[in-house]
């Protein structure tokens, strides 16, 4: 395990450590001198870094998604920690433990997957239950499902995050649905399990989290519709109307056109799926922002682009970060 994680760094600390390059830009000062602007990270967080000297000697030796060993000084710039790099070199993969660099769920993936199977096993509608089992018992797909993040950056953006978010959403559905009459819980749970399953193919998560070519060109909803059609074709007599309802759950779960929904929710289960998905994703995103806010002083985060406002962290400022121990 690494000795020093990003979350351990303190102002005026001289540090030598290995980090993953998440972003790399070659920029120029007003004088014309070039410098490197980097975002470096490990599983505990990210750090802005600058290299001002000897840039020409190292710039071509590494790239984004490489591991680099750096020596430098941590200081505070605009109320945020920043690393000034004095030396760096590219590391070979065998020099590092990958588990130190990629955030992952703090929960047991296999336990979560068994919980999800239990949820599916409790679905009364035989067609929906068989559809979900066809998906989850696909060994290749299940392996990806257990590893994939739920998003590139916004929420549950860690290995195992997709499964964690899906199971959390299923639990919310089972809690909220009984409060309202005439909600078809089986249909709602089917939508919860399938709503983001296409992210197993939309996202690449072998190094930094990014989009695959298919993900960039099509998006996870289109990938999900193809997957669902394939799995339904294997089920004799699957009702056409039920297939249409499942498809609508998928293409409406973002809830608004501006958020990428081809259709808006048009029946109660679709609306509930959108609202609960939005709740689980936004609340987890807010928790991470509060926990990892780089502003060292004050009760407020800086303006957050996702929420369009600063967030109050006041009484949570002494809370412990749990990503390092993930």
- Terminal Cα-to-Cα distance of the chain (whole angstroms): 12
- How many angstroms separate the Cα of 204 from the Cα of each of 151, 152, 199, 200? 10, 9, 9, 8
Tell whether the model's pLDDT for residue 324 goes beyond 60.
no
Residues in the chain: 326
Q: What is the pLDDT of residues 105-153, one digit of tens each?
A: 889 999 999 999 999 999 999 999 999 999 999 999 999 999 998 887 7
The conformation of residue 300, written as its DSSP 8-state character, comes to B
Tell whether the model's pLDDT for residue 100 goes beyond 50.
yes
Record: fold of 6-100: OB fold (Dihydrolipoamide Acetyltransferase, E2P) (2.40.50)
| Sign of the four-CA dihedral 123, 127, 132, 133 | positive
Structural domain boundaries in the chain = 6-100, 109-286
Of the given ranges (101-115, 178-192, 248-262, 309-323), which has the lowest mean pLDDT?
A: 309-323
| pLDDT score for 178 | 96
Mean of all residue pLDDT scores within the chain:
89
Q: What is the pLDDT of residues 277-313, one digit of tens each?
A: 999 999 998 888 887 776 666 788 888 888 889 899 8
Q: What is the pLDDT of residues 54-88, one digit of tens each?
A: 999 999 999 988 999 999 999 988 778 899 999 99
| pLDDT score for 322 | 43
Work out whether strand 80-91 and strand 45-51 pair parallel, antiparallel, or are unpaired: parallel
Domain 109-286 top-level CATH class: mainly alpha
- pTM metric for this prediction: 0.79
pLDDT average, residue stretch 222-233: 95
For residue 17, give the 3-state DSSP assignment.
strand
């Amino acid at each position: 395990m690494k000795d020093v994680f990003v979350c351990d760094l303190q102002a005026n600390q001289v540090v030598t450590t290995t980090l993953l390059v998440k972003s790399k830009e070659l920029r120029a000062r007003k004088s014309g001198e070039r410098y490197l602007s980097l975002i470096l990270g490990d599983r505990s967080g990210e750090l802005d870094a600058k290299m001002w000297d000897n840039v020409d000697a190292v710039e071509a030796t590494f790239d984004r998604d490489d591991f680099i060993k750096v020596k430098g000084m941590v200081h505070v710039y605009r109320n945020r920690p920043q690393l000034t790099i004095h030396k760096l070199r590219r590391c070979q993969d065998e020099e590092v433990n990958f588990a130190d660099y990629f955030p992952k769920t703090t929960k047991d993936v296999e336990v979560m997957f068994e919980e999800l199977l239990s949820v599916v096993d409790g679905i009364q509608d035989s067609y929906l239950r068989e559809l979900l089992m066809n998906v989850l018992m696909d060994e290749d797909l299940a392996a990806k499902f257990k590893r994939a993040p739920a998003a590139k950056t916004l929420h549950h953006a860690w290995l195992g995050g997709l499964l964690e978010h899906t199971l959390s959403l299923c639990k919310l559905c089972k809690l909220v649905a009984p409060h309202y009459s005439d909600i078809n819980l089986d249909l709602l749970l089917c939508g919860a399990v399938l709503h983001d399953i296409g992210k197993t193919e939309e996202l690449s998560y072998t190094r930094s989290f990014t989009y695959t070519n298919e993900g960039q060109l099509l998006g996870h909803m289109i990938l999900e519709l193809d997957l669902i059609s394939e799995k339904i074709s294997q089920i004799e007599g699957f009702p056409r109307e039920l297939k249409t309802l499942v498809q609508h759950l998928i293409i409406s779960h973002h809830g608004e056109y501006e958020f990428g929904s081809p259709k808006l929710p048009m029946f109660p289960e679709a609306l509930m799926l959108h609202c609960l998905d939005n709740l689980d994703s936004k609340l987890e995103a807010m928790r991470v922002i509060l926990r990892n806010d780089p502003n060292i002083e004050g009760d407020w985060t800086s303006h957050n682009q996702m929420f369009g406002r600063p967030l109050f962290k006041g009484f949570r400022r002494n809370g412990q970060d749990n990503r390092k121990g993930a």
